[in-house]
A and B are shown apart, each in its own frame.
Chain A
Amino acid sequence: MKELYDTISLQFTLKDFHQQKPNLAFATAEKQQLIALLTYMRDVHRYTHLVFVTAVDWLEENRFQITYMLHNYDIKADFGIRVMLDRDKPVMESIHHLWEQGRVYQRELHEMFGIDFPGSPGVNEPMILEGWQGPPVMRRDFDTAKYSLETYDHRPRDTREPESHMKEKLYPED
């Protein structure tokens, strides 16, 4: 897959090539070139299948990483293209015109990470969280345990240390 990387690199700015398996590789692309790169991959190199679109929250580097995973049915190989977004202004171009199913992933990313994809149909509709009013839930600075404790009531209960509890129960005289 290194040859493929080198071929693409002639036209696009790529970096961080990483070959994970013989038929699986990743590379990081420029945000501005992404649509052109995906179109090129799809139409020239026959990576015709969009496997998934997902995001990673790099909180410490203040970045979002979006991964587009493409699959080539002819040689049975996967190529993952990453782009980095600014975490303070997470806006990305939509790819729903290249792959129709892309809009579902984008809707999900919008709901879970708060990444906006202007122009993607129905991107603002709730996907699985109906009526959610808090922050996007998969961002790492969202503290789900704290939110849960503040929002939902707990059933009070006795929590016991098993060792000492059983000791007390079985051998009370000790």
Chain B
Amino acid sequence: MSYMDKTTGIPEQGITPPIPDTGEMPDREWRKDDKTLTNAELTLEEQDWFCDARPTPAKPAWGPVEKFYNWARANSLWILAFGTGCGAIELRPLVTARYDISRLGMQPRPTPRQASVFMIGGYVSIKTLKRIVRSYEQMQGPKFVVAVCSCAINGGMYWDSYNTVKRIDQYIPVDVYVTGCMPRPEAVMAGFSKLKELILAGKAEGQNLYAEKFDWYKANQKQVIKDWNMPDYNW
């Protein structure tokens, strides 16, 4: 099979890549105006239940205060682990006695509302992507995403699967990738240290990125999720 050019990795002819990221908002019929979302896929009754506000980028606090906040954020990472694939099994050694991430101030958190790191553990199928988007949007910012496993980066061994997305960063912003199939707990911890560095440097602004390029992300999500039956943005 030669779908991929061996040397450059660029797919051959006849392939429709997702909408290119040109920075401008694509004109979609589901966008009423710049302020509200239409939630067009929901029934009229359901539209009443959900908020139609768009996410807005949040301004960081005043310099030194933000630095202090970032220090607190970096030292109190609460993880929402989404065990999408086999890589999620690595979270168990992480929280138990051998690698014990709680000494770094991290702890697993069972609800997206309270977590600040979204850990995606493995391949992402379309069905899971729906849940990922929902959980990600329900997290309160600033929120960070760590994608563990090769499958989350480029499809890994599921590169030719009909139901697995490659490149999660086209659907939600990802701060840190951890390679490996599956990565050792040490590698995951190295990923978290990297995330800490990013937060301390004030560079982990995935939430603002998501808010700014919301239309691009939404368009990508809707392109692969064919039965979109949830609100456009469920905070």
Contacts and interface: CB of A to CB of B under 8 A. Distances in A.
Is B truly associated with A?
yes
Interface of A: 128-134, 137, 142, 144-159
B9 A153 contact: no
B226 A154 contact: no
Contacts of A145: 1, 3, 160
Interface residues of B, number: 35
Nearest to A147: B162
A155 B166 contact: yes
B226 A133 contact: yes
8 A-B pairs with the lowest CB-CB distances in the bound complex, closest first: A131-B227, A145-B160, A131-B226, A155-B154, A144-B162, A157-B9, A130-B127, A149-B3
Task: Give the secondary structure class of A's interface.
Answer: loop
Task: Give the secondary structure class of B's interface.
Answer: loop
A147 B160 CA distance: 8
Given A130-B130, A152-B165, A146 B3 contact: yes
A151 B130 CA distance: 17
Interface in B111-129: 126-127
A134 B126 contact: no
Nearest to B226: A131
B145 to A, nearest CB: 16
B166 A130 contact: no
Contact of B8 (A134, A137, A156): A156
Contact of A155 (B7, B153, B161): B153
A158 B9 contact: yes
